[in-house]
Chains A and B, each alone.
Chain A
């Protein structure tokens, strides 16, 4: 948790790559209003700016998957992740396949543009600390994932994912399932660790798994159960 603590000591910076000026302006407003505020750099839809200047130094990259409409740029996402960047994918797409692919490539969060400040701000904070954030839409995608090589989730985990997807309120999930909010978070985090342990290798993913093992969030035995 040392790395995470260091990040929270100073102001988090994030860079947004989105070809829609209104989205960037809206996200800037949310970041400024957040407590503590998040410093946002607008790359004005140019991927190059994420790699140079202030963009290169940002803790988190908020990435619009479709800078060219109709062509999700998974290659750019992979390059970002391979260079150790912590990426929050902010996409118009709501389909399962896109969301799961982004997670598999190593994005720490996947949000649809219907999901606003309530989810984007916590996602940026979690990503800055190297933690995954699972928004309700991604929860829905993980819950209904029926790929043959998907990680095996426990009944409780699926139940929590389902409830979080349905209500988009962790307090409500906690009260309905009669558990604490922290337990809700733990279940969701365990799902992400299981997903991070599967598929394509990426640094963000292996970091996530090793941290989960260190923190005792999950055991090696649980992880290796097919």
Chain B
């Protein structure tokens, strides 16, 4: 997500710069270049060749304009031919240039073709543009040295012209690189902000849940701990020990509630069974069918009887779960003596208790209240 926003920031910056460069290039080729060309049309060795050269440059610019509108970069395969077209156009222009006119207003291609090359190579690394500009310069220089009399004045003119021809596009390219860096930095900063925000939200939520858990324990666990602390409850008392065992199981269930598992009810019951298991109680656990997704309060009501029975069982307990699309039943049989049946808090919960000597059999059944639809399909 953050990666994507970073990329979007960079793309937006780059797109703006691309439009600007294209406008500058179009103005130079279409304005300055074309004006100079037309004004001096009769001085060229072949006016047609000059017109073909400027048309080639215009074609490259038009292609770029289409790509800018489509918000697409140059195809990597078309880029090299485009650069070749630009260089060929300037070579063609030089070939039919009247003598002694390199880097004058007659030599319109000298100050125009470089911009077209920049348009094509804008999003490439700086060295590509440098190579292109060098090739462009070399074409003009070769023309000057080989086909003309390189007078001192001509060389000076060429040197001054080169400052413009190389300098301006290079400035734009450097700005592009800088903008790219700024874009990356901005994206990174945004990502960091988002991370901080997420961490903050997580912290707030876990704090809320911790408080809620504490509130849930405060009704039963806290009075027990207070009683033990101030000596009003004695650990020697069997009843107190049973309460402690049940509270320990409740806390264990609370910890299990936050786990992400396929079947949370069975997961929580297994945690309750584990406590009995550790005390040496033989726990028989069997589940049939599949439980529908249940909210935490319903799961708590369903597991409460099993929890209390498992926490206080003497030697043996059997826990069974039967799940149907609209009915879940948790049954526990254990030699836990008489324990108070739990009082359910949610709707649709029924508790059945059966006692036989030391054995207690409790069955908690949740039936989906009629009229409420959760849109589950039958198994």
Contacts and interface: CB of A to CB of B under 8 A. Distances in A.
Contacts of B322: 140, 143-144, 162, 165
Interface in B350-375: 354, 356, 359, 361, 363
Interface string A117-153: 0000000000000000000110011011010000000
Nearest to B323: A144
A71 interface: no
Contacts of B356: 171-172, 175-176
Given A143-B322, A166-B333, A167-B318, A176 B361 contact: yes
Interface residues of B, number: 16
A176 B286 contact: no
Query: Mostly helix, strand, loop or mixed at chain A's interface?
Result: helix
A140 B333 contact: no
A168 B318 contact: yes
Contacts of B361: 166-167, 172, 176
Query: Mostly helix, strand, loop or mixed at chain B's interface?
Result: strand
Contacts of B127: none
B326 to A, nearest CB: 13
A88 to B, nearest CB: 19
A96 interface: yes
Interface residues of A, number: 20
A167 B331 CA distance: 8
Nearest to A168: B318
Given A140-B286, A172-B356, A176-B361, A146 B379 contact: yes
Nearest to A146: B379
Given A162-B322, A176-B354, 14 more contacts: A137-B286, A140-B286, A141-B288, A143-B322, A144-B288, A144-B324, A165-B286, A165-B322, A166-B320, A166-B363, A167-B333, A168-B318, A172-B359, A175-B354
19 contacts: A94-B286, A140-B320, A143-B322, A144-B288, A144-B289, A144-B324, A165-B288, A165-B322, A166-B333, A167-B331, A167-B361, A168-B284, A168-B333, A169-B333, A171-B356, A172-B359, A172-B361, A176-B356, A176-B361
Interface of A: 94, 96, 114, 136-137, 140-141, 143-144, 146, 162, 165-169, 171-172, 175-176
